[in-house]
Structure 1
Amino acid sequence: MRRPVSGMSVAEMSMLIHSGVMSPVEIAEAVFDAIDRHADKSVFISLFRDRAMGEASAAAKRVADGRSLGLLDGIPIAWKDLFDIKGLATTAGSTVLSARAPATKDAAVVDLVRQSGMVAIGRTNMSEFAFSGIGINPHYGTPHNPKSTDVPRVSGGSSSGSAVAVAAGLVPVAIGTDTGGSIRIPAAFNGIVGYKASRGRYAMDGVFPLAKSLDCLGPLCRTVQDAIWVDVAMRGATRPEITRATDASLDIVVPENGVFDVAEPGVIEAFEAALLRLEKAGARIQRIHIPAFDAISELVKARGALVTAEAFALHRERLTGAIADQIDPRVVARIKLGEKTSMADYIDILDIRRRLTVETEDLLTGRLVAFPSVAHVAPAIDPLLADDDLFFATNGKTLRNTGFGNFLDWCGVSIPCGTGDAGMPVGLLLSGVAGDDEKLLTAALRYEDVIRG
């Protein structure tokens, strides 16, 4: 009988491999066994059994010969259905793209991770075209949140399958994309860690876009340590610059505006309890008004959202004719909102974005920002399927907090900080300005246990 590896972190699996307790082949076999046994068949869109076993065999030989590529050699990884995989069409969670020509090579970041020895297991489900924070997909099914004990609940989007694959213990890490919160939202809903890197930290070649001015990448995993290790591979670096010995004093700004509006009491309670633990651990916390948050909300009302403008430019030809009937109507409706944004409005949005980003960086003076990743816990699926108005309202509220960071080009990591309604996970979002990834990850590593409580 195979040894189970369900629920293990990257670090735990690495220890098994490099101590000789389990080989990468045994681990890959155990992962596929767990996926096969898992009741929710909507988590993965495709599996790479042949490729994975070949990569696992090569890793096993390297480790046995004393030629390991490093800590990640032989570790399983899953990829959101936006990353090119050689020989497969990239479908972006949509059936209308299934007839695309197969990719002739892996996406650049997939290739870099392969060079670290990680084993590609499969591609995970997602919101169609990555255009929802909820995670519902009418084509490939809607992954259910494995943390729910009462009713079927959403896993969050758009990296829905990636989050569930980790939270359900099927793989130790899965890579997602984040345009308005698509890593941090599902991480928060599922009680795992989700790291959205600064835009441009990773190569974007071979990644199907949503809005290029906002698109970012990052891992969903079990611990901040895992995120740091995987970040190294995604950058093509050789070793992590961040260790537990790295100094990590923590100065935090908590916004007084925007992020707590209509927040569930349980979410606020879990967040405030985590803040209190951080203060007791020596963190310095200041509550301030962040004018950019108000300005962003007013800008969207006046000129439309940047994401919808760029999504419409990308998909406008797909929204006409018979092919539009094959796309989720809710996705079509949201993308069409971008048609209302004129070129003059679009240019103004970009100019205002640059100004607000600089002004906010000056306001923060190098401090990190903390607030709830999402204002509510994962909602039930059935009411959202039955009521379009409820779906759109919930989607907007779900994306609100994380969306501020995308607009201002922040990096961010969501860390579980407690539970709210129905015992569902709550995430604390720690963010830094663009390029402050090392500072952010250093603090997150140092204070992760405190945040979790």
Structure 2
Amino acid sequence: MTHTPQSLLDAARARAAAPDFTRTFDDPVEGEGPLSGLNVAVKDLFDVRGQVTQAGSQVRKATAPASKDAAAVARLRSAGAGLIGHANMTEFAYSGLGLNPHYGTPLTPLKEGCIAGGSTSGGASAVARGVADIALGTDTGGSARIPAAFCGLFGFKATAQTISRAGAVPLSHSLDSVGVLTREVGLLRPVLNVLRDQPLAASAAPRAVIVPENFGMDELDPEVAEAFEAALEALQASGVNLRRQTLDFFDDYRALPVWQFSAVESRAHHGAHFDDARAELDPRVASRMARADGVTGIEFARTMAAREALIARAAHLFGDTPVALPSVAIMPPKLDDLREDATYDRINLLALRNTSFANVIDGCSVSMPITSHPGAGLMLTATAGRDAMLMNMAETLQGAL
């Protein structure tokens, strides 16, 4: 059945109390392991054998069921975790807000009528509500960390090459990575150790963080600004040195057209659906995919080269010192406030602004809830391969927050 864009958006608003899953599984646990007794909400991007991977879209409903688990799913299953369902998400993971006009929009339990954030929206909501212990998600520009902040969770974006994405539907192969969400920081390490080839090393946490003064701090909601300063005071009281700096790097970073990666590469992966069934897509997703038409091959090559240069500069500039930012510039917005496309676009960009930094520099990042201000998060970001350093710091600092 063909839907008009308006009918799709009306459906999203009408189903504000939608379930967190596109489908649930009758999937008995097959063995014991370090995650025995824990339930996982699997983002609807990951293959689960015998199930159709819909990626939050109706155009993939006729896709053949997966013949085997995605690599990450197989590892969780072999560690004794129970898979309870494919979690709802933004179609193709193409948004930081988590709206889905096809299956409804998950909400955060922290604030009445407010969105869970995305694109790992259903998984975050399920964990926050206690339906699941773990959400297996992805993070292309903040898709694990934005909903972690909005739902009062811990969200970890792994360095892309440390956890296999085999069997996961891509959005942007340049920026995609695996993300994990939990209610307790103590659960992150065992989950990540199951997903990784090598366990996270135990070492001393860094005693300093860089707080940029020319990136990520403008247009903050007053409650976010207050929460972030309170978090920094707590870090300082625990012995962390705050290095507030204005860095030319961030001026150059802001000049990079980050949007090109998802626009161009989503067309590479989902172009057939865009060409043949565009009317069936979320119009807000389709409009972003359409932006690829305005990008020449030469322009995209220049963007990729500029990103590689930024990755190298970041590794030299930041080293073993994480960057501290508010996870998201805003508190969870109400679903009803996202009716107009112009408002949606502005809030989506603002939600993704701080988190996308980690993906562009090919780094790792963790969002920790600031419990005094539910819906706000403190984010620590480091360059590639420093996942263990961030994990150690999160475990050390979570009590201070």
TM-score normalized by the length of structure 2: 0.93
CA distance in 2, matches of 1:249, 1:256: 20
Give the drift of 1:145: 1.3
Alpha carbons of 1:290 and 1:176: their partners in 2 closer, same or farther (altered >3 Å)? farther
Contact 1:127 1:159 (8 Å CA) reproduced: yes
Q: Secondary structure at the match of 1:438?
A: helix
State the match for 1:428 in structure 2.
378
Contact 1:113 1:233 (8 Å CA) reproduced: yes
State the match for 2:38 in structure 1.
75
1:319 correspondence with 2:274: yes
CA distance in 2, matches of 1:148, 1:282: 33
Q: CA RMSD in A?
A: 1.7
Q: Which of 184, 195, 199 is 1:234 aligned to?
A: 195
The 5 A counterparts of 1:40-51 are 40-49=17-26, 51=27
Q: Which of 342, 345, 366 is 2:299 aligned to?
A: 345
CA distance in 2, matches of 1:204, 1:294: 31
CA distance in 1, matches of 2:170, 2:50: 19
Give the drift of 1:240: 5.5
Contact 1:266 1:419 (8 Å CA) reproduced: no
Alpha carbons of 1:291 and 1:310: their partners in 2 closer, same or farther (altered >3 Å)? farther
The letter of the residue matching 1:250 is: R
Q: Which of 69, 85, 95 is 1:122 aligned to?
A: 85
Q: Which of 307, 324, 340 is 1:387 aligned to?
A: 340
State the match for 2:9 in structure 1.
none
1:415 correspondence with 2:381: no
Q: Which of 359, 368, 372 is 1:406 aligned to?
A: 359
Q: Secondary structure at the match of 1:299?
A: coil
Contact 1:271 1:418 (8 Å CA) reproduced: no
The 5 A counterparts of 1:260-409 are 260-300=217-257, 305-321=260-276, 323-384=277-338, 386-409=339-362
The 5 A counterparts of 1:59-138 are 59=31, 68-69=32-33, 71-138=34-101
The letter of the residue matching 2:269 is: L
State the match for 2:12 in structure 1.
none
CA distance in 1, matches of 2:322, 2:193: 22
State the match for 1:255 in structure 2.
212
Stretches of structure 2 lacking an aligned partner (at least 5 in a row): 1-15
Give the drift of 1:411: 0.3
Q: Which has the higher contact order (CA 8 A, sep 6+)?
A: 2
Quote the sequence identity (%).
Answer: 38
Which string of whole-angstrom CA distances, capped at 9 and with x for unpartnered residues, describes residues 50-76 of structure 1?
Answer: x1xx31xx54xxxxxxxx53x312321
CA distance in 2, matches of 1:363, 1:193: 27
Rg larger in 1 or in 2?
Answer: 1
Stretches of structure 1 lacking an aligned partner (at least 5 in a row): 1-38, 60-67
Give the drift of 1:315: 2.3
CA distance in 2, matches of 1:289, 1:317: 44
Q: Secondary structure at the match of 1:311?
A: helix
The letter of the residue matching 1:313 is: A
Q: Secondary structure at the match of 1:200?
A: helix
Q: Secondary structure at the match of 2:254?
A: helix
The letter of the residue matching 1:335 is: M
Give the drift of 1:346: 1.2
Contact 2:52 2:65 (8 Å CA) reproduced: yes
Contact 1:176 1:183 (8 Å CA) reproduced: yes
CA distance in 2, matches of 1:89, 1:441: 33
CA distance in 1, matches of 2:222, 2:139: 27
Alpha carbons of 1:418 and 1:73: their partners in 2 closer, same or farther (altered >3 Å)? closer
TM-score normalized by the length of structure 1: 0.82
Stretch deviating more after TM superposition (308-317 or 111-120): 308-317
